[in-house]
């Protein structure tokens, strides 16, 4: 802790756009395996070279920051679980205000918990004071189809539980990451109408 009360949130970083998109499953829908692998390598390089930043938490003022940007804990409104299946399942939690302030905390890499216990407890305190909830779409203001529109998003309680006890391989996740749901993950954020129509079209073309 420094003189102003800021504590380093070890492990948290700014997300890299290309790598984040790959983790979210947005590239698998095209079946471009070689391109995906190339983008993983590029994404890893970008993650290392461009997203190294010190994330600080101030429990007294209730703010979190990286670089010169900072927001109040209550301004954190969204969180999503990012899942990568590259030989073994790895988990990361992306959280922020959904606009220009977003961070990623790696949680687990296979059998190994990546984030240290102190950092996970600190992040849990931040999330407990947040305003995280499942987003709603303008075509679905009551959130009836929220799980179709935002399949990787989690609630505040789910985010806290993921941080404190990252699920081990084989343990259930609060989101659906089966192969059948990959097209839905790729459509995250679109209107409920488009999601449902495209998914029904896929089922019609490839009946089980």
Is residue 143's pLDDT more than 90? Answer: no
**Which helix H or strand E contains 56, and what residues bound it?**
strand 55-58
CB neighbours of 68 closer than 8 A, spacing ≥ 6?
A: none
What's the pLDDT score for residue 30?
Answer: 47
Q: Report the mean per-residue pLDDT for the chain.
A: 79
pLDDT at 3: 76
Reported as type and span, the H/E element at residue 157 is helix 156-164
Q: Which two tokens stand for residue 78?
A: 């969204």
pLDDT in tens, 22-73: 444 444 444 545 555 565 555 555 544 444 578 999 999 999 999 889 999 9
- Specify the pTM: 0.71
Sign (positive/negative) of CA torsion 62, 67, 68, 71? Answer: negative
Domain segments of the chain: what residues?
A: 7-205
pLDDT tens, residue by residue, 72-103: 999 999 999 999 987 889 999 999 999 889 99
């Amino acid at each position: 802790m420094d003189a102003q009360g800021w504590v380093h949130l070890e492990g948290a970083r700014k997300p890299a756009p290309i790598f984040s998109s790959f983790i979210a499953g947005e590239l698998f829908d095209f079946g471009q395996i070689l391109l995906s692998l190339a983008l993983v390598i590029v994404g890893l390089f970008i993650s290392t070279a461009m997203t190294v930043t010190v994330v600080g938490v101030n429990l007294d003022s209730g703010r979190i920051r990286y670089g010169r940007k900072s927001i109040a804990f209550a301004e954190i409104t969204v969180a999503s679980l990012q899942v990568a299946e590259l030989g073994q399942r790895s988990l990361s939690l992306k959280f922020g205000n959904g606009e220009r302030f977003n961070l990623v905390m790696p949680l687990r890499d296979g059998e190994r918990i990546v984030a240290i216990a102190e950092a996970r407890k600190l992040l849990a305190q931040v999330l407990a004071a947040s305003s995280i909830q499942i987003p709603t779409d303008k075509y679905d203001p009551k959130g009836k189809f929220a799980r179709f529109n935002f399949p990787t998003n989690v609630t505040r309680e789910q985010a806290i539980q993921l941080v404190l006890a990252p699920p081990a391989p084989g343990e259930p996740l609060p989101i659906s990451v089966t192969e059948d749901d990959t097209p839905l993950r790729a459509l995250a954020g679109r209107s409920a109408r488009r999601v449902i129509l495209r998914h029904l079209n896929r089922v019609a073309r490839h009946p089980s």
